[in-house]
Amino acid sequence: MYNKILAAIDGSPASEKALATAVDLAGQYRAELIALSVAEVPAVVMADEVDQSMRHSADDYFRQIGEAAVEYARSRGVKLRTALLRGHAADEILRFAETEAVNLIVIGRHGHSRVTRFFLGSTTDRVSEHCHSTVMIVK
């Protein structure tokens, strides 16, 4: 049924649950599994030096999350490929899923704080609303 599964991960407890679910499904369906992280680009343009420092810090953070995800999947007998993009999380998840011909996205219900969700909206809501593939929301 599912041959290519995308797990959206950001290090939050909700994304850890989503990853566990995606790993389980990939094992059951013998599907290809990809874990995608998106480093959101600040809306405000900053000094180049500060911007570079923030990018390196975000890259390091998401690399660590990706490495932990690969190890988790490996411990369950599932091969996992990771990807890291920059941009608006929902837009990048949707674009990546379409480019990679993903037929299931597994995403946690909440990754951001409540204040961020109030002002920016939920990445999960946007992905589920605009995605052409099946979206599984894990609570």
Tens digit of pLDDT for each residue in 58-96? 889 999 999 999 999 999 999 999 999 988 999 999 999
- pLDDT tens per residue across span 97-117: 999 999 999 999 875 545 444
For 105-132, what is the mean pLDDT? 74
Q: Which residues contact 101 (CB under 8 A, 6 or more apart)?
A: 4
How far is Cα 27 from Cα 3, in angstroms, rounded to an integer? 11
For the chain, what's the residue count? 139
Residue 108 or residue 57, greater confidence: 108
Say what the pLDDT of residue 118 is. 46
pLDDT band for position 56 (cuts 50, 70, 90): confident
Q: How confident is the model at residue 80, as a pLDDT?
A: 98
Closest of 117, 78, 71 to residue 63, by C-alpha: 71
- Indicate the average pLDDT of the chain: 87
Judged against a pLDDT cut of 90, whether residue 44 lies above it is answered with: no
* Topology (CATH) of 4-138: Rossmann fold (3.40.50)
